[in-house]
Structure formats: C-alpha cells, structure tokens
C-alpha cells in the first residue's frame, strides 16, 4: 500500500516537472527565437505527450510568466543584485518561471524553488543552480504586494506606474488604457486584471454553412449576444466537426459583433457590393460572406500580403455566395471610387485589445509602433470612404482601444474629408450592455468578456 502511494507521489512529481520543463522550453523559444507562445506551446505539449491536467499547468506557467515578465524582471534584478544583462538567458527564464510560481500561484514555495533550481542545474550548470537558489529565496521573502510597495512608483502619485508593476503591463499601455477609460481608476485596474485572465475559446458559425445548434450539441454554449457565436468551455476547437469542415471558426465574440453591426445598418438604394479592405487571415470575411446572402450581395476581400490572402481563400472555401479574394494595397485601390455599398476596414493595429490571447505581445509592442500604424490607418480609412458610394457605410474597426488608433483617427479623417459622418453604432449591437455615450463603440474584456474591439460606423454623405 505505502509503496503504491509513494509511487503515486513520485509520478505526480515527475508529471509536474514535465509541465515545468515544457513551460521553460516554451519561454526559451519565445524569448530567444521570438516564437509565439500560442503556437509553440501546443506543439511542445503534443510532441511530449503531456496529459490534459499537466498541459493546463504548463499553460498557466508559460502564459502567467510571459504576461508579468516586466514585473518579475525588476524583482529578479533586485534579488540578484545585478542587471539581467549580466545573466545567462536560460537562467533569466528559469528565474522568471520561479518568480511566477512564488508570487502568483499556489505552488508551495519549497517546490517552486527546488524545481526551478533543478531546471537550472539540468540546462545550465551547478554554479548557476546555486545562484538561482539564492535569488529565489530572496524573491519569496515577500508577496507581490510587498514587492510593489518596494519597487513600484507610489499608487497615490503615479497610478499608471504602480498598476503597470502590480498587474504586469508596460506603463505606456496602462496610460493608453487609462486615456480610453477616461481616467476611471477602478475600470483601469479591472481592465488590466482581465488581460491576465485566460480568454474563452469563442467560435462563430459561418451563416448559411453552419448553425449554432450544431456547436451547442457538441458541448459549446451559445454566445451572449452574437447570433452566430458559441463558447467552448473545454476541449480543442480543432476537433469539432463543424470547425474541421469550415462551417465554423474560432473568432472572438467582439469581432463577430462589430462585423454583424456593419451588415445591420440600414442603407437606401442598392446593397450589392461589399468590400473587406484588410481581410487576412479571413475571420471577419468568412462571417461577412455568409451575411451577404441576406441582400444577395457580392464580397470582395482584399489583403496586401499574398500568404495571408491564401488564408482568406481557405476561410471562404465552401461559402455558397459570390466572393473574390484580391491581393492589393488598399491604400491605393485598384477599384473605382464609390464602387461599394458597405465597406469593412479592420485596420492593422497594435492589437492592445487582445493582450489576453498573446501573453508576450505586451512586451514586444513599443509605443513607437503607434505613430506609423496610425498613419496607415488614416490612409486606409480615407481610401475606405472614397470606396463607398454616397449613402453607403464604412465600418472602421481595430482590436486596440488606444485613442490614437481609434476615435482620433476617425476624427482626423472626417475633418479632412468633410463628406462622411458618424452613425451611432450602439443600436447595431442590440442587447450588449454598457456601450457608453456613443456614437462609437468600445468593447472591453473586463466589461463584455470580449477582446477590446473598437467600432465606428461612417456614412458617406
Ligand atoms: C487586423 S488584420 C485583419 C484581420 C481580419 N479582418 C480577420 O478578421 O481575420 C489586418 C490585415 O490587414 C493587412 N494589411 C495591412 N496593410 C494593408 C494594406 N495596405 N492593404 C490591404 N491589407 C493590408 C494585414 O496584412 C492584415 O492581414
């Protein structure tokens, strides 16, 4: 009896170390080879045959460590008494992983320290393992609030700086969120906390090809507001028959809502030509293509990059409606002016609204990225308005709440052109609560449970 219990404990220990090794290897790939965690981690889990429970632990460790890397780095540097630049990269990643377990999980401190030290011993050398042991013991001397008190700017005088440290975001992103939330401190903290929660797996059926009932009978729950959406509580979406057959795809409910909103705006006159200006990889194009069936319209899906245009073609494969995929630069349209009745511009952006899905993205993005993206967004929106006929509608969408990519882009383009006006977008997201004062809509993870999608609807005069 006691032998089998001991065996059970040993198995559990070995499994836990497998999870930590996978997390460590994922961190190395992300930080050394610029890999994306959401791509590299599933591959590692598959390769090593990790079971579901350990995969969940490895995912929590990888995502949690990456999200708060900036905070853990400051703590580790303090405890190491030297700059990270003076440490071996594998040691840095192991210390981040150890700090995460000590400060943000329920892993017992002795296990957090000893398993991390083992990783360093295996992957670096004994001397580095002793060093890691000493550093992590110091990290564990206080909790995250204690470290925030010691290392973060005071909450009273620099709220953004304090929250950036406490909730693992770069300060420039915290300030951008604060501006978009009009300085509401409580909402700001809730938004940052929501960014550190795993995002639900949201699915969308392609209208005319699949229906929500099929997803529900496969174990998903109907989405709260999108008539085409469902949420998968557990399991791999890639295994669902509807997803494999292209009748449904993975798509955030916020993305569905802004796309459906464009199709709902009343327009007088013809409703035959729809344009998706920035279509790759094709999630919104697939939904739009299904929605063209109502008025019997055709969809032109445009994408600048060839390989992403191929993904759009894949997403549209099997759609019974009329559609075409075109590789083109939408800032310099090859189509005539005023050629379309509805235009979707889902603009390239910083992606600050989807940080919960891409744990490393917040540290890769720089505030210097905003200026060039904004210039591109302005140029695309100007082309979008030129492309729609008078009375037609343009939906300007970003998955970023940064004001320099949202409201002020629209303000500047409307001011410079004078031939388009905002339409209140809120009525086209029926049932969705807390949409603010309008006319534009800003969704938030902490309010709506969606990515922070922004939508402005503009009618050509
Ligand atoms: C935010 S993504 C669009 C996501 C897409 N709507 C979906 O739901 O799957 C922006 C896309 O615009 C493309 N893009 C960037 N600049 C462009 C341009 N000048 N003309 C057309 N497409 C462009 C990018 O390659 C990228 O695929």
Atom nearest to 312 CA in ligand 1: 9
Consult the annotation and say whether 438 binds a ligand.
Answer: no
The rounded Å distance from CA 395 to ligand 1 centre is: 14
Residue 118: CA count within 13 A, CB half-sphere? 13
pLDDT digits (tens, 9 = 90+) for 305-334: 999 999 999 999 999 999 999 999 999 999
* Catalytic residue from among 194, 302, 399, 409: 399
* CATH (residue range 2-139): 1.10.940.10
Please give the structure tokens belonging to residue 433.
């609560």
| Ramachandran class of 436: left when φ > 0, alpha when ψ lies in -120 to 50, beta otherwise | left
62 φ, ψ to 5°? -65, -50
Ligand 1 atom nearest the C-alpha of 379 is 19
pLDDT digits (tens, 9 = 90+) for 143-172: 999 999 999 999 999 999 999 999 999 999
Pocket test for ligand 1, best of 258, 259, 278, 387 (most atoms within 8 A of CB): 278
For residue 311, the 8-state DSSP code is H
pLDDT tens column, 202-225? 999 999 999 999 999 999 999 999
Residue 187 CA to ligand 1 center (angstroms) comes to: 30
Is 70 exceeded by the pLDDT of residue 15? no
Beta bridge partners of 342: 274, 393
The CATH code for residues 253-460 is 3.40.50.150
Q: Are 441 and 455 in contact (CB under 8 A)?
A: yes
Q: Rounded to whole angstroms, how far apart are CA atoms 311 and 390?
A: 32
User: Ligand 1 center to residue 357 CA distance, Å?
Assistant: 18
Which ligand 1 atom sits closest to the C-alpha of 302?
Answer: 21
Q: Is 399 marked active-site?
A: yes
Cα separations (Å) of 335 from 300, 307, 388, 397? Answer: 10, 21, 11, 21
The answer to whether 284 is annotated as binding is: yes
Q: Is-contact 341 20, C-beta < 8 A?
A: no
Give the Å distance between the CA of 348 and the centre of ligand 1: 5
The crossing angle, in degrees rounded to 10, of helices 37-47 and 2-33 is: 140
Give the pLDDT mean for 269-273.
Answer: 97
Report the DSSP pairing between strands 388-398 and 340-346.
parallel
**154 touches 162 (CB < 8 A):** yes
Closest listed residue to residue 74, CA positions, set 159, 147, 179, 181: 147
Give the domain 201-249 fold: Alpha-Beta Plaits (3.30.70)
Q: Which residue among 258, 279, 281 has the greatest number of ligand 1 atoms within 8 angstroms of its CB, and so is best to mutate?
A: 279
**Average confidence score pLDDT of the chain:** 95
The mean per-residue pLDDT over the stretch 49-64 comes to 95
Q: Distance between CA 365 and CA 350 in Å, rounded?
A: 7
Which protein residues touch ligand 1 with a CB less than 6 Å away? Answer: 255, 278-284, 302-305, 308, 329-331, 346, 348
Alpha carbon of 332 to ligand 1 centroid (Å): 14
Q: Where are the domains of the chain?
A: 2-139, 154-195, 201-249, 253-460
pLDDT tier at 179, thresholds 50, 70, 90 = very high
Nearest CA to ligand 1 atom 10: 348
């Amino acid at each position: 009896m006691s032998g089998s219990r001991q065996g059970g404990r040993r198995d559990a220990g070995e499994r836990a170390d497998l999870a930590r090794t996978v997390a460590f290897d994922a961190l190395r790939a992300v930080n050394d080879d610029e890999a994306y965690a959401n791509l590299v981690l599933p591959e590692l889990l598959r390769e090593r045959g990790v079971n579901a429970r350990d995969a969940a632990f490895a995912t929590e460790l990888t995502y949690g460590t990456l999200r708060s890397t900036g905070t853990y780095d400051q703590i580790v540097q303090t405890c190491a008494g030297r700059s990270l630049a003076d440490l071996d990269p594998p040691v840095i990643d192991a210390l981040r992983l150890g700090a995460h377990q000590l400060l943000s999980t329920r892993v017992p401190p002795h296990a957090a320290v000893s398993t991390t030290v083992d990783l360093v011993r295996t992957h670096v050398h004994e001397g580095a393992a002793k060093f890691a042991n000493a550093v992590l013991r110091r990290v564990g001397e206080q909790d995250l609030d204690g470290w925030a008190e010691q290392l973060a700017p005071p909450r009273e005088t620099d709220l953004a700086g304090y929250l950036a440290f406490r909730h693992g975001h770069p300060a420039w992103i915290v300030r951008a969120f604060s501006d978009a939330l009009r300085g509401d401190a409580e909402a700001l903290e809730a938004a940052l906390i929501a960014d550190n929660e795993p995002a639900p797996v949201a699915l969308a059926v392609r209208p005319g090809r699949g229906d929500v009932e099929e997803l529900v009978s496969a174990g998903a729950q109907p989405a709260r507001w999108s008539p085409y959406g469902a949420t998968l509580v557990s399991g791999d979406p890639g295994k669902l028959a509807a997803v494999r057959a292209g009748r449904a795809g993975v798509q955030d409910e916020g993305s569905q809502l802004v796309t459906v909103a464009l199709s709902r705006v009343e327009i007088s006159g013809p409703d035959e030509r729809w344009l998706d200006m920035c279509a790759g990889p094709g999630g919104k194009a697939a939904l739009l293509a299904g929605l063209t069936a109502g008025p019997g319209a055709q969809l032109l899906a445009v994408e600048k990059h060839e390989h992403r245009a191929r993904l759009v073609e894949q997403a549209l494969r099997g759609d019974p409606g009329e559609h075409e995929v075109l590789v083109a630069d939408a800032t310099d349209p090859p189509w005539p002016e005023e050629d379309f009745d509805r235009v979707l511009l889902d603009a390239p952006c910083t992606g600050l609204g989807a940080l919960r899905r891409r744990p490393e993205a917040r540290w890769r993005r720089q505030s210097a990225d905003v200026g060039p993206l904004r210039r591109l967004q302005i140029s695309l929106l100007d082309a979008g308005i030129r492309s729609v006929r008078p009375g037609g509608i343009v939906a300007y969408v970003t998955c970023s709440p940064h004001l320099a990519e949202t409201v002020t882009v629209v303000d500047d383009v409307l001011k410079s052109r004078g031939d388009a006006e905002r339409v209140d977008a809120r009525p086209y997201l029926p049932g969705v609560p807390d949409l603010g004062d309008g006319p534009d809509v800003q969704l938030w993870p902490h309010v709506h449970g969606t990515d922070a999608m922004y939508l402005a609807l503009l009618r050509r005069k």
